[in-house]
Structure formats: structure tokens, C-alpha cells
Structure 1
Amino acid sequence: MGEGRNISRNSDRDERTSSEIPRQTTPRFRIGLSGCAGGLEAISSSGLLALAEKAEALGFDGLWLNEEHFQGSIVEVEGRRCHSPLILASAILARTRRLRVGFSVLLLALHHPVRLAEEIATLDVLSDGRVDFGISRGGNARYLEVYGIEPETVNERFQSTLQFLLGAWQDQKMPFGENGYSIEPKPIQKPHPPIFIGTYSDETAAWAAREGHALICHGITNMTNQRRLMRAFKDAGGDVQQVPFGRFVYVSETDASAREELWPTVLKLSARLKGIGLFNRRGIVSEDELDPEVFYREMVIAGGPESCARRIVELNEELGITYLNALSAFFGFLPLELLDRSLTLLSREVRPRVETALTARTAT
């Protein structure tokens, strides 16, 4: 019977005129900004919201906020300043009308399920459904120690919290002992805000696809590991066009000016990443790739508009990427004036080139 249905369907298709056959449409190309302050963390807290408004005016699709702790103080006079992602998300959503705000990612092990269900739903209601719910297990040893969480419980906490959230956001009561309570409010987006899973594990990437969640790939991960995760996600049935794909991105007028302007930032950032031993974490980046020259070449999309557009189109050709998630502030080491100009060029010069190239590919 299955073969018969296939033959009939193919025959019907062959008999249609060319005008009746649906044409392939170009997937919409999106650009998000990612970091402790949604890729805007090169400036003081008082200036973040104004720059978020500018990001919306420039046409960026989303800001993605990292959950980090113990980042930025009098001890570290340079680099990123990290704020409470939920409070910062509320402020950004209140100052914007179209821009989506996501989390890249919230660490589920550190959150009480009831409180988190209420707060994410509240953000979704107040923003008229502009929240993207990015999450991970949250296995950072320092965070677990401070929060008093046993490392061996992290996986179970992740699964149980996620299952609770999915139930709490439905029109039902949740059981608590002999009682049941409706967790309020309920989110605007149905059945719930989109869920994005952050991971360095093939197994978790495949699980996300099977569960119907999207993957979110952080830009600090090298391309070898990004390809591995994307392959695992796709092979398990995941839609790669929904993946916010992170890369460090800097745009200048020319390739030469980009290197000259960005190089001091690359030196500071690569030294910082080496200093925290990032290369010791499996599935992220190697020590060799934190050499400044290698980092600039392999971990960063940088150059004039034409070169940056070409690099992005190559990601689309290789991996099907249609959502670039730019680590635009370089962990807060990029000076504000350079960040501001790079965002303008990324929106006004790079994006149209990418969209034109993707449209041309679809038409051929």
C-alpha cells in the first residue's frame, strides 16, 4: 500500500503544469547578537538599553543573553560585565517592540522550576510572545559549588525541570503532594516559547532533535565541533535552519582595516580564554586554536562586507545555516565605537549581500 501511494503521488505531480508546481522559497536569513548583554556588553549598563533599541532599528532579529556568574568586577577591569539575564531580558523587551530576546543559555540546574516557569511566562506575556527559551544542563563546577548543587544530580535536575516547565505552561494544574496548582501566567506562545538546547555533546544534540527542540550553537566552539553537533542534530531529524549558529563577527570597511582594528581585541580575548583554561573543556576548542593568528583565522568572521558575506554564505552552503548568531562584542573586549560601527555594517552592508546570494542560489 505504501508503494501504491507513492506512485499515485508521483503521477499526479508529473501531470501538473510547471506553473502549478510550487517553487522553492528562500528561507529568511536572520541575524542575532549573543553575549552576556546580548552582544552589546562593550558599554556600561546605562547604555545597554539604548543600544538594544538601535539593534532593533537596524533590523537584527534577536538578542541572546548568556547566564554567567562571577564575571566582571573591580578585579577584572576589562572584558564583559554580566547581569541577571532574566532582569536584563525584561528591560530590553520593555524598550523594544519587534526584537526577540532569547537565552544562550539559562542553566536549568540553578533555577527553581516554579519560579522559572512563572518568570519566563511573564516575560512572554509582557512582550507579546517574543521570548526564546535557550537552556542547558549547567555543569559549571564553580556555579554548582556556590549554589550547593551536587554535580551528579545535574542531569536529573535538567530533565525534571524541563518536564515540569512543559507541563506548567499548559492549561492544567500541577500536582504538589495532595494538592494541585495552576502555575500562572501561561505564555502567549503555544504550546510554549521555542526551546533551544545548548550542548557540546552529540547525544544531547540528537536528543534535542528527537524531542522537537532546536539546537543553539555557541560561537566559542570551534568549527570542527560545530560541524559534529550540527551533523548529529540533522541526522536525528533536526531542522538546521532553526539553529542560531554562533560565530565571532566583526565588520569594517575593508579586510585590512578589520584586522588592524580588531587585532588588539583578539590578543586580549585569546589570552583571557587561555587563562581560564577553556581548552581543557571537552568539545569546545583546542589550545592551538587560542593562538591569536589561528583564532583570528578559524574562530572569527572578520573583514570588509564582501568577505564577511562570503564567509556566511559558505556556512549556508556547507551546513544549511540561515540564522547567524554573532558574538559581536567579543566578550566585552571590543571598544564601543568599533562595536557600534560593526553592527551598522553587518546590518546595512553584509545582510543584503547574503540575502541576495541565498536568493540567487534558490533560483538556480
Structure 2
Amino acid sequence: MKHGLMLFTDSFGSDAPSTDVLGWALTYAAEAERAGWDEVWTTEHHFTSAVHTPSAIAMAAFLLGRTGLGVGTAVAVLPNHHPVALAEQTALLHHVGDGRFTLGVGRGQPRGDLEVFGDGLAGYRDISGRLALLESALRAGEFEDVRLVPDVPERPPLALSAASVPTARLAGQHGIPLILGPFVSLADKRAMLDAHAETAAGHGHRIDPADHIDSTYFAIADTTDAARELLIDGLRAQLLRGAPGTRSLVEQPELTAEGADAMARKLAANVVAGDPDECARQLREREELLGTGRIILMPEGAGSVEAVLTTVRRAGAEVFPGACRPA
């Protein structure tokens, strides 16, 4: 199992300038490499002070040069990008990163950036055409009669973020592995993987289950109760903050403190949190159930720079060795 660190560049609700927030993320990445993590993953959000990375691809390029870790995007928002442009950039990062780059794409969230860069709600709801074009361009190395430069001998690593069975089936149709969304229960993730396998086989694709990628929030503390409360507190605050500066494209009721608490506690049922031994046990359990070969862990949900660094540093020495299944 490869362990990847998500870099949300979360401001934790503060008014810290971008220089500080991005500096925190680079510190997390440096500590992850020292602590024995395998990968770092970047994300894409626009027009909000909650997180400070509008380009997953640009941040990934920087981290490929800054670290020796594998680097992925979770995700580049597919409706915001021309698929052939994404294919070109992926080919470039595949070469300059010596094969360490994974392009993860997804539909994103129904927010105003989709109107600025894409087709609004229509593009959010139906990503099938863009996904097919991206996969075809990466696999064939061309678009219509235009060759992609730089060329790649085979399709670089590509994955689709999914939180539902229909999206899992879409990925299976194109022979693309999944990034299993962090807000989905383990039972639902297993159902998504089964639907993906059935659809992939029906379209003639053979995909190693270890090519799929799990994702979850993550916290370590001296006791399991303390770790879970740390994540519940952080997720509750995150939900109440929302994404200031952006607007939703779908009508949503205002979230109350009680509603945020209930949602945080529901989310906490699907995370990896505990003392080091408990975290290792939960990672082994997920690997046994899902069979994924990689997992993206998200410690920024714990709500502070200090909590993130504690989890990043302790994970390599105290959790990952115990999470390895016996050969």
C-alpha cells in the first residue's frame, strides 16, 4: 500500500496570507518525505479563501521538482479544462517527473468556477464526453490529426474520482481506475469497485484492483477518542465555514451548527483516526476490504497546522510499518 498525503492548502478559517498558507503545505510535503510517505496529492479550488490552490497541475509540477515523492492531482476539475490541454500537460509531467505523476480528474463541485471556466451545471452533470476525449488523447497520443508533444509510449497513470456507482461505471467503461471519494462509506466503496469491475469487464478492460486509490481523512493522537474528536471538531468547523467567496450553482439550505455537527460525526465514521496501533489496524482493514494499492490521507481535516504536522510525522514511524500486511 502506498500512502499519499493530500495538500488542500487549507487556511483553517484564518485570514493568513497565501504566502503563509502555501508555506504550510510545502512544510507538510517536506515532513512527509522525511517521514517515509510515498506520495503527495494536490487539489483545485477557485475564488475562495478556504483553500489556496487554484491549479492542481501547477502545484503538482512544482512538487515533482521539489520532492522525490510520487505526485498526483485529486483532482484536476475536468469541466474546467480542455481535455486535450490536460493530456498535453500530463504528458509533460510524466516525462519531467520520471513517471512519478498521476493525473486524477473529477467533476468537482457545483460552484461558480464552472461558469467562469466551463459549461456550468451542464458540464458538472455530464463529464462523459470530456473524459472520453482525455482518455483517448492520452492513450493514442493524438487528437484528430494532431500529435501530442511530448509523446508517451503508453497512457500515463490516470484515475477518476468517484462518489457514486454511476460514476464508477463511467470509469469502468473507459478502463480508468477510481479514486474513491472520502465522504463515502466503506460498504459503498466496495459496491462502487464491484460495479466498476463489472462494467470494465463488459467493455473488454482488465484493471488490477491495486490500481484503484482510496481516500479518507486522517488523524493520529495518543488515544483513539482524542483523534476522533480532533477530526470531528475540524470537520464541523470546515463544514460551517464552507467556501467563502464562491457561490453554489444549486440551491442549498443554510447549514446550522447542529446540522454541521451531525454531518461531521457521520463523516467521522468513515475516516482513519486513532492512536498509532488503531490507525494501522484501520488501514489494514481498508486494504483487505477494498484491495486498493494506494490511499490518499487527509490530515488537514484535523483543523490546525500543528495537528497536521503531528499526524504527518507520527504516521511514518508509528503507523505505516504496522499497516503493512504480512507477505
Same fold, TM exceeding 0.5? yes
Which of 289, 298, 310 is matched with 1:318 structurally?
Answer: 289
Q: Say if 2:134 is the partner of 1:162.
A: yes
- TM-fit CA distance, 1:91: 1.1
For 2:238 and 2:289, locate their aligned partners in 1 and report how far apart those are by CA, in whole Å.
Answer: 28
Q: Kindly report which structure 2 residues correspond to 1:268-287, keeping only aligned pairs within 5 A, or say none.
A: 268-272=237-241
The reply to whether residue 60 of structure 1 matches residue 37 of structure 2 is: yes
Please tell me whether the aligned partners of residues 206 and 232 of structure 1 are also in contact (alpha carbons under 8 angstroms): yes
Change (3 A) 1:96 1:315: same
Does the alignment pair 1:36 with 2:1? no
Alpha-carbon distance in structure 2 between the residues aligned to 1:41 and 1:60: 23
CA distances 1:119-139 after superposition (whole Å, capped 9, x unpaired) = 222222211111101112457
What is the letter of the counterpart of residue 44 of structure 2?
E
Taking the aligned partners of 1:115 and 1:320, their CA distance within structure 2 comes to: 32
- Letter in structure 1 aligned against 2:154: P
SS of corresponding position for 1:299 = coil
Measured in 1, the distance between the counterparts of 2:268 and 2:114 equals 35
Structure-2 change in CA distance of 1:342 and 1:141 (3 Å): closer
SS class of match (2:182): coil
Local SS of the residue matching 1:316: helix
1:130-145 correspondence runs (5 A): 130-138=100-108, 140-145=110-115
The equivalent residue for 2:219 is: 250
Q: Contact 1:65/1:89 (CA < 8 Å) preserved in 2?
A: yes
**CA-CA distance at 1:151 after TM superposition:** 4.0
The equivalent residue for 1:122 is 92
* CA separation of 1:152 and 1:324: change in aligned 2, threshold 3 A: closer
Offset from partner CA, 1:131-162 (integer Å, 9 cap, x none): 10111245725233222525445435414532
Please say if 1:83 is aligned against 2:54.
yes
The answer (yes or no) to whether the contact 2:190–2:289 under 8 Å persists in 1 is no
Alignment of 1:1-364 (within 5 A): 29-37=1-9, 44-72=21-49, 79-97=50-68, 99-138=69-108, 140-149=110-119, 151-152=121-122, 154-155=126-127, 157-166=129-138, 170=141, 174-175=143-144, 180-187=145-152, 190-236=153-199, 237=201, 238-259=207-228, 261-272=230-241, 291=262, 294-295=265-266, 297-330=268-301, 334-355=303-324, 358-359=325-326, 362=327
Q: Quote the Cα distance in structure 1 between the aligned partners of 2:33 and 2:268.
A: 30
Cα distance change on mapping 1:292 and 1:139 into 2, 3 Å: closer
- For residues 231-279 of structure 1, give each alpha carbon's deviation from its aligned partner in whole angstroms, at most 9, with x where no partner exists: 31244455332222111110112224424644532431243469999x9
2-structure distance, mates of 1:68, 1:193: 24
Over residues 23-64 of structure 1, what are the superposed CA-to-partner deviations in whole Å (9 max), with x where a residue is unaligned?
Answer: xxxxxx211122434xx8766213433432221222212122
Structure 2, unmatched stretches of 5+, are 13-19, 202-206, 253-257
Identity %: 26
- Counterparts of 1:135 and 1:250, CA distance in 2: 25
Q: Number of residues paired by the alignment?
A: 305
CA RMSD of the aligned region, Å? 3.3
Instruction: Measure, in 2, the Cα distance between the counterparts of 1:160 and 1:110.
Output: 15
Tell me the alpha carbon deviations over residues 211-248 of structure 1, each in whole angstroms, 9 at most, x when there is no partner.
33211012133445323312312444553322221111
Q: Secondary structure at the match of 1:229?
A: helix
The residue type equivalent to 1:65 in the other structure is T
For the pair shown, which has the larger CA radius of gyration, 1 or 2?
1
Note the residue ranges of structure 1 that are not aligned, 5 or more in a row: 1-28, 73-78, 282-286
Partner secondary structure for residue 44 of structure 1 = helix
> Normalized against structure 2, the TM-score is what?
0.79
Give the Cα–Cα distance (whole angstroms) in 2 for the partners of residues 219 and 150 of structure 1.
Answer: 24
